[in-house]
Amino acid sequence: MWSTFSTQEEDGRPPGAGGLNQGPAGVKVAMIGGRGGPKRRARTSSTSGGDMSDSQEGKVKLAFFVAVVGIVLTILGVGTEFWVELAPSKSFSSNHTCLVAHYGLWKSCIKSLWVADVDPERESCGPADLPGESNCTFFKFFTTGENAVLFQKTTDKSLGVASGLMAIFSLFFMVMGAVCITMAISKRVPFFLKPASVCFTLSGILIFLLIIVFHQSVLALLASDHTVPLHHELLWSVSCVGCAGALLIVGGILFLLLALPYSPWQRCMPNKNSEN
């Protein structure tokens, strides 16, 4: 008896502890602890937001780079006034100089060029990138509601305001999409990919609608007065904005594909080994 008590003390357990652990209650406690521990750990790991793998994060960053290029091109195109060029004939003002106008969403510029610098085979004045004196003014239909007059032709205020609002809303959706992607990468949560896809896709669609509305405003300007014939040409800012809209829509589609719970490539082209 004494030897048994001393052996239990050496083990560091009180008498009867081994019996409790080996009994039904001890087995039940062990089973409850074994069941609750993994479930609790799995629940905390799932709610912590670490669901994005390293490969998926790399794909998200690559798609975000495509969207960022679209954002930069949009800002470059919207902020410049080289959307369209209006050029009358060389003899519209004088024999030595001629006038050419170019404008964008926010302001217009009238540039005086030397006739000697213009290509002799060109009937109208221009192009606008030739050296000369330029005078730029902001459109007043955003502030006082006044229309602008270029070569006796009047702009359409409603179309001009609609173009500016579309550009602002498109930039707003780009910012919201960029915030969602930043949250998805920093928190490693793929949940933010779907709203980012919607934001970038809407911004790209608005950009294409913006180009259509702006072109209609140019046609309305030319149709306002037919006394002065003008040669009009879309410039490089429209090309930047068009490429930006395409890149933003592509980025939105890529984010949507990355947000799916399965790979669309594996669904469309299943592995041959899995079929066998």
Tens of pLDDT, residues 202-261: 999 999 999 999 999 999 999 988 888 888 999 999 999 999 999 999 999 999 998 887
pLDDT tens for each residue of 141-157: 888 888 888 888 999 99
The domain tally of the chain equals: 2
Count the residues in the chain: 276
pLDDT of 262 over the 80 cut: no
Residue 35 and residue 70 share a domain: no
Residue 231 and residue 190 share a domain: yes
Residue 141 and residue 43 share a domain: no
Residue type, 210: L
- What pLDDT, on the 0 to 100 scale, is given for residue 237? 94
- Comparing CA positions, the residue from 168, 162, 253, 259 lying closest to residue 216 is 162
Among 18-22, 38-42, 72-76, 88-92, the range with the most confident prediction by mean pLDDT is: 72-76
Whether omega before 127 lies within 30 degrees of 0, making that bond cis, reads yes
Inside any domain, residue 124: no
Determine the structural domain holding residue 21 and report its residue range: 2-47
Inside any domain, residue 220: yes
Residue 43 and residue 143 share a domain: no
Residue type, 139: F
CATH code assigned at 162: 1.20.140.150
Residue 66 and residue 164 share a domain: yes
Inside any domain, residue 19: yes
Inside any domain, residue 101: no
Inside any domain, residue 172: yes
The percent of residues above 90 in pLDDT, for the chain, comes to 46
Residue 154 and residue 197 share a domain: yes
pLDDT of 76 over the 70 cut: yes
Residue 39 and residue 144 share a domain: no
> Does the pTM exceed 0.85?
no
Question: In the block, which residue shows the tokens 């239990």?
Answer: 8
State the pLDDT confidence band at 90, using cuts at 50, 70 and 90.
confident
Residue 61 and residue 187 share a domain: yes
- Comparing CA positions, the residue from 226, 218, 231 lying closest to residue 119 is 231
- What pLDDT, on the 0 to 100 scale, is given for residue 268? 55
Average pLDDT, the chain: 80
Inside any domain, residue 93: no
Residue 153 and residue 37 share a domain: no
Tokens, residue 163: 């173009």
Inside any domain, residue 276: no
Residue 62 and residue 29 share a domain: no
Residue 69 and residue 33 share a domain: no
pLDDT tens for each residue of 177-189: 999 999 999 888 8
Distance CA 161, CA 49 (A): 43
Residue 150 and residue 28 share a domain: no
- Give me the mean pLDDT over the 96-124 stretch: 89
Rg of the chain in Å (alpha carbons):
34
Inside any domain, residue 123: no
